[in-house]
Amino acid sequence: MFDTEVLVVGAGPVGLTLAVDLGLKGVRCILAERKEAPQFLPKMERCNARTMEIFRRMGLAGKVRAAGLRSDVPMDVYIILAMNEPPLLRLPYPSVAEAQRQIDACTDGRLPLEPYQLVSQYTLEPLLKSVAETLPSVSVRYGCEFLSLEQDGSGVSTKIKCDNRISDISCKYLVGCDGGSSAVRESLGIGLRGEGNLMQFRQALYYCEELFDRIPIGNGPGKGRHYHVADDRATFLIMQDSTRHWTLHAAVETDADMARQFEKTVGIPVKYDMLHVGKWQQNLLLAEHYGKGRVFLAGDAVHLVIPTGGLGMNSGVGDAVDLAWKLTAALRGWGGPNLLASYEIERRQVGDRNVGASRYASLGRRKWRSLWRDPDRLVAVAQVEQRKSNEMIGAELGYRYVGSPVIWDEPGGPEHLFREYVPTSWPGARLPHVWLEGHVAIQDRIGRGYTLLRLGGSREDASGLEKAMRIYGAPFEILDIPDQAARDLYGFDLILLRPDLHIVWRGNLAPAEPRELAALATGHPV
């Protein structure tokens, strides 16, 4: 008898998302977090569009938006000398409200269903914690540190220290979401590969009641989320979700320098409190493996990127949702062995590409920063190079699982592009968003199991596939979507989707070998 079905170690945004998703699926899980409580410390601040689509499916998008930045504030990025001088460069990016208007009018699948949302990690974590605590199958335990594990073919036994007492917790599966210096990863003997400790920074958090309303930038609008300073300290000011909190990163010598650097950047006298100063370092690292046996790893435990392009937490949320339904399938008996094995195959290639995308973006940023003595040239270079950090829609939406044992193999496929998103129904891709009759999003029509979309009025007999899926006991439904817009966008009459809305198979005729397709989709030997 096991204490729980899944033990999730670490309640950062990734562990919390995983616990919530497992809880929504009725899986018994314990979430063990070393800290006594969520901390008010800055880290990520932007959920990208894909994460917001995922949160929408979990019923959380509205809550996250309500807790995050107001929808009317632009997400512009500036390069400045100081805030009280005309900006060197302004890259305009729409507010959530404006982005939503663009999405509402979009009919070609190029845009996501949800825009991004600025929400500080210290806001998001307590929100996700409060949701996890309402789920009956989830036990949230702060002040509990993972120490060690042993596993065999049937489960995992662990030593966990809670309130200075060491106890044993056993589980069928364990997931280490315990961040960059993951003890779970270490206990599996899995190393990180790549470039570590590339550059060290100080980061400080400030409370300033008046700055947002008084932003003194030139004649332009001035409101934005990022203010890069063209200097030799790589100074970078970030607005947090309340608009009253700000963070500043700079390569400076002492904590006290962070106060001076803030004042210099703001350029006008403001009253402020410096709430926290910490150090962090830039890494571009990827784990050799995403788990071993019944133990899996997700989030920063397996990929560490430079926070350019927001591919840190957002990649980790992608790991969490990929793993949650596969663990559920294994626990409920309908998932075959290839399903959990596909987690590393699918998500490590995304981690690898995102580490690459982060390197590409940060090299661009380094290029314009090196020209800080020559503002004219800097601006010309930054026009191109800074966009690499802020325009990553291809990496966010366009990832497609290649070579996965649970995706029907269609050789070839579109190129993976970081910067551009081209909607596709190629197996392995995320189902592109499309509006249906009555302005209903197709994602909102789709249930929680496997779905065969029958598009454009197709009458193909899919009962063979339905029967085959039932043999495995997998949740499955056939959904008729007569709207021509969806048929035109996807280019096929039939699309088989998995619970995470990635495409398994597509065709115009019912599958010739339904048993084979059902076996493949559910991870059983074909």
CA distance 169 to 369: 50
Among 35, 63, 292, 359, binds ligand FAD (CB under 6 A): 35
Site string for ligand FAD, 185-214 (x = CB under 6 A): ------------------x-----------
Structure tokens at 229: 């300073």
Q: Using the minimum distance from each CB to ligand FAD, give the nearer residue, 89 or 302.
A: 302
CA distance 194 to 363: 15
Residue 46 interacts with ligand FAD (CB under 6 A): yes or no:
yes
Footprint of ligand FAD on residues 296-325 (CB under 6 A)?
Answer: 299-300, 307, 310, 312-314, 316
Structure tokens at 250: 């700079």
Footprint of ligand FAD on residues 461-500 (CB under 6 A)?
Answer: none
Nearest by Cα to 245 from 295, 289, 204, 201? 204
Q: Using the minimum distance from each CB to ligand FAD, give the nearer residue, 46 or 498.
A: 46
Mark the segment that binds ligand FAD (CB under 6 A) among 3-11, 86-94, 205-213, 440-448. 3-11
CA distance 447 to 322: 16
Q: What angle do CA 183, 188, 190 make, to 5 degrees?
A: 90
At 380 the three-state DSSP class reads helix
CA distance 286 to 74: 33
Q: Using the minimum distance from each CB to ligand FAD, give the nearer residue, 430 or 524.
A: 430
CA distance 423 to 75: 24
Residue 240 interacts with ligand FAD (CB under 6 A): yes or no:
no
Footprint of ligand FAD on residues 121-180 (CB under 6 A)?
Answer: 121, 145-146, 177-179
Q: Using the minimum distance from each CB to ligand FAD, give the nearer residue, 301 or 495.
A: 301
Number of residues that bind ligand FAD (CB under 6 A): 32
Residue 34 interacts with ligand FAD (CB under 6 A): yes or no:
yes
CA distance 186 to 181: 8
Among 32, 258, 286, 481, binds ligand FAD (CB under 6 A): 32
Helices (H) and strands (E) in the chain, counts: 17, 24
Q: Using the minimum distance from each CB to ligand FAD, give the nearer residue, 332 or 366.
A: 366
**DSSP state, 505?**
E
**Strand duo 165-176 + 226-229: pairing:** unpaired
Which residues, 6+ apart, have CB-to-CB distance to 359 below 8 Å? Answer: 284, 306
Among 6, 7, 29, 44, binds ligand FAD (CB under 6 A): 44
Footprint of ligand FAD on residues 276-295 (CB under 6 A)?
Answer: 280
Q: Using the minimum distance from each CB to ligand FAD, give the nearer residue, 174 or 211.
A: 174
Q: Which residues sit at the interface with ligand FAD, rule CB under 6 A?
A: 9-15, 32-35, 43-46, 121, 145-146, 177-179, 183, 203, 280, 299-300, 307, 310, 312-314, 316
